[in-house]
Amino acid sequence: MSSEKVLSSASASASAPLASPHAELCRGINGLDKVVLRDPRGSSAEVYLYGAHVTSWKNDHGEELLFVSSKAIFKPPKAIRGGIPICFPQFSNIGSLEQHGFARNRLWTIDADPPPFSTTSSSKTFVDLILKPSEEDMKIWAHSFEFRLRVALGPGGDLLLTSRIRNTSVDGKPFSFTFAYHTYFSVSDISEVRVEGLETLDYLDNLQNRERFTEQGDAITFESEVDKIYLSTPTKIAILDHEKKRTFVLRKDGLPDAVVWNPWDKKAKAMVDFGDEEYKHMLCVEAAAVEKPITLKAGEEWKGRQELSAVPSSYCSGQLDPQKVLHGS
């Protein structure tokens, strides 16, 4: 779909009312519609209807916690470089679709009438978006689905993404898919970052023909390009930014795998929508379902959640033991 068509249909598709009093529909970069979520306690988030793409998550001090490249191209059909791209119905380039599927390259609409959420989430600051396949989409992936995404801010400023994908085929056909929340975290200096919670796990190394290895380190640190798919990972992963004295905690449900990616210098230079030095200030840790595709029978629904929080961490004082973060409440 050309960018002009996306723009014109955006305003039409975005016209549905927003259920939350703390959500506002407005125009973003290049006139693309976005929804701004402002929690009364000060945290905020932004999600473009294009790709249902979260491009900002700020804490109650107004600090930006996600990375978006200064060279990101907010122009369909190119995916926005940074934030939280939604990878569906395929993660990676294994399969017949383009890398990471097409959900992040489509215009979503406001879901005016979402089925009730079973979660206990009491968030009042949220937006519900929905994607259904177009006729064009059916030509490249012949499956009927409804993909509902809720983006919400929790009481403590946490960012909650809940995906509900239903197989709506009328011919009884099942389908399988792989999925990732391709989250780009903003970090002060990648060489001062550690990831806890993935030690001793097996992973597929995209830099070594996706061969399977076992993580030996007692924490993951970064001195060069990393592109690993950790398998059967715990529900909690911690990303520690030493310089900022901040720990991101990623909690996930329905997403057994976790991708860790930093392009480092060579790949950074090769990406037109990524600054040469920007690899120093970002890290992707992605809640995913990759090793074992998810299969839905006709009428079945899958739910995949990720909850991000940012907590102060001053390891030098021993105040926050990473193991407590990972194994605590």
Q: Which residues are catalytic?
A: 182, 286
Environment class of 210 (CB within 10 Å of its CB; exposed 0-12, middle 13-18, buried 19+): middle
Q: Which of 286, 290, 304, 305 binds ligand TA6 (CB under 6 A)?
A: 286
Q: How far is the CB of 204 from ligand TA6 (least distance, A)?
A: 11
User: Was 194 annotated as part of a binding site?
Assistant: no
268 binds ligand TA6 (CB under 6 A): no
**Tokens of residue 18, six digits:** 């927003």
Distance in Å, CB of 34 to ligand TA6, minimum:
19
**Contact between 150 and 179 (Cβ < 8 Å):** no
C-alpha count within 13 angstroms, C-beta hemisphere, residue 223: 1
Of all residues in the shown chain, the one whose CB is closest to ligand TA6 is 261
* Position 257 contacts ligand TA6 (CB under 6 A): no
Q: Which is nearer to ligand TA6, 230 or 261 (CB)?
A: 261
**Is residue 100 a contact residue for ligand TA6 (CB under 6 A)?**
yes
Interface with ligand TA6 (CB under 6 A), residue from 182, 194, 246, 305: 182
Q: How far apart are CA 41 and CA 287, in angstroms?
A: 27
- Check binding of 278 to ligand TA6 (CB under 6 A): no
Residue choice 261, 289, 305, 307 for contact with ligand TA6 (CB under 6 A): 261
φ, ψ dihedrals at 287, nearest 5°: -65, 125
Site for ligand TA6 in 195-224 (CB under 6 A): 206
Q: Among 284, 287, 308, 320, which residue sits at the site for ligand TA6 (rule: CB under 6 A)?
A: 284
d(CA 62, CA 80): 22
The window from 23-31, 48-56, 92-100, 162-170 that contacts ligand TA6 (CB under 6 A) reads: 92-100
Determine if 99 is a binding residue for ligand TA6 (CB under 6 A): yes
In angstroms, what CA-CA distances link 65 with 210, 222, 225? Answer: 30, 19, 22
Confirm or deny that 81 is annotated as ligand binding: yes
Residue 206's nearest CA partner among 91, 303, 287 is: 91
Site for ligand TA6 in 25-84 (CB under 6 A): 79
Residues 291-320 that bind ligand TA6 (CB under 6 A): none
Residue count at the site for ligand TA6 (CB under 6 A)? 11
Say how many CA atoms lie within 13 Å of 297 toward its Cβ.
0
Helices (H), the chain: 3-13, 135-140, 264-270, 322-327
Q: Where do the DSSP E strands lie in 154-272?
A: 159-167, 175-181, 184-186, 193-196, 202-205, 211-214, 226-230, 236-241, 246-253, 257-262
Using CB under 6 A as the binding rule, whether residue 92 contacts ligand TA6 is answered as yes
Element (H, E) at 147: strand 145-153
Asked if 37 and 110 count as a contact pair (C-beta separation under 8 A), the reply is no
Report the distance separating Cα 44 and Cα 22, nearest Å. Answer: 10
Q: Is 306 annotated as a binding residue?
A: no
227 touching ligand TA6, by CB under 6 A: yes
Least Å from the CB of residue 80 to ligand TA6: 9
- List Cβ neighbours of 326 (8 Å cut-off, separation of 6 or more): 196, 197, 234, 236, 237, 238
Cβ closest to ligand TA6, residue 68 vs residue 110: 68
Applying CB under 6 A, does 105 fall inside the site for ligand TA6?
A: no
How far apart are CB 121 and ligand TA6 at their closest, in Å? 27
- Closest distance between ligand TA6 and the C-beta of residue 127, in Å? 23
For residue 133, give both structure tokens.
């396949």
Q: Which residues contribute to the annotated binding site for substrate?
A: 81, 99, 104
Q: Which residues contribute to the annotated binding site?
A: 81, 99, 104
List contacts with ligand TA6 (CB under 6 A). 79, 92, 99-100, 182, 206, 227, 259, 261, 284, 286
